[in-house]
Amino acid sequence: MALEEQCSAPPQWRSISLTHVEFPEGDLTGQALAYISLLPIAILVGFVTLIVFKRELHTISFFGGLILNEGVNWVLKHIIREPRPCAGAHSTLHTEYGMPSSHSQLMWFFVVYFFLFLYLRMHQTNNARCVDLLWRHILSIILLGMALSVSYSRVYLLYHTWSQVFYGGVAGSTIGIMWFFFTQEVLTPLFPKIAAWPISEYFLVRDTSLIPNILWFEYTKGEEKKASVSPLGGNTH
C-alpha cells in the first residue's frame, strides 16, 4: 500500500545528469560526436583525480582556472542571453542560453593553457631533445584535435551555432592565456610558502614549481629508488 502511494506521488520526473547528450537516432556520426562532447566532463574528473592523488599546487591552480572559466561563461551567458539554435530540438538543457558555448570555452581554455605549459613551463632536463620535442608536438596535435572535435560536435548536434562555439573558443583561449601568466608570475612565487603552511603539510600538499620537468624528475627518482633496494627488500651496497 505504501509503495503504491509512493509510485503515484511524483507529478513529474526530471533528470539531473551532467552527461545527458542527445543525438539523432540512427546517426552513427552524431553518436560518436555525442561521446566526444563528453570530453570536458572527463577532463574535470581527471583533474579531481590528479588533485586527490598528486596534491600538487600547480595542478590545483590549473583546476581553479577551469572553475573560474566556467564561472565567466555562466556570467556571459546570462548577460548576452542569446538562445540556442533550433529551439525545442532537445528535451533536456541545463540552460536555454547558448552564447558562448561552455563546452568550447572549457576545451580551449584547457588546450591553450596546456600548450603554454608544455612549451614554456616544461624545460628539457635530459639529452633526448628530439624525442622530447616530438612527443610535445604529437600531444599538442592531439589536444588541438580534441578541442576542434568538441567544438564541431556542439554545432553538429544543434546545441550551439558556429558563432557561439567560436566566441566560446575565443573566451576560453583568452582566459587560459591570462590564467597561465597569472599563475606563473603571481601564484608560483607563493607556492613554496603555501606548501609550508601547517594545513598543507597535514594534507600532503606539495610544490613542484622549481622542478623543470616533473615527469622526468619522477621517473629518475623512481629508478633511483628501485636501484637502491634489492629484490629481497634490503638496501644494495
What pLDDT does residue 13 have?
38
What pLDDT does residue 145 have?
92
What is the sign, positive or negative, of the torsion defined by CA atoms of 152, 155, 159, 161? positive
Indicate the pTM of the whole model.
Answer: 0.77
* Residue 99 near residue 83, CB atoms below 8 Å: no
The reply to whether 13 falls in a domain is: no
What pLDDT does residue 6 have?
44
The reply to whether 204 falls in a domain is: yes
pLDDT means per 10 residues, the chain with 237 residues, are 46 49 76 84 85 82 91 90 72 72 92 87 57 78 92 86 92 94 88 83 76 59 60 51
What are the backbone dihedrals phi and psi of residue 79, each rounded to the nearest 5 degrees, phi first? -90, -45
The total of structural domains in the chain comes to 1
What pLDDT does residue 224 have?
61
What pLDDT does residue 46 have?
84
The reply to whether 99 falls in a domain is: yes
Domain that holds residue 201: 28-217
The reply to whether 206 falls in a domain is: yes
The reply to whether 231 falls in a domain is: no
What pLDDT does residue 72 have?
93
What pLDDT does residue 126 have?
47
The reply to whether 224 falls in a domain is: no
The reply to whether 116 falls in a domain is: yes
What are the backbone dihedrals phi and psi of residue 20, each rounded to the nearest 5 degrees, phi first? -75, 105
The reply to whether 236 falls in a domain is: no
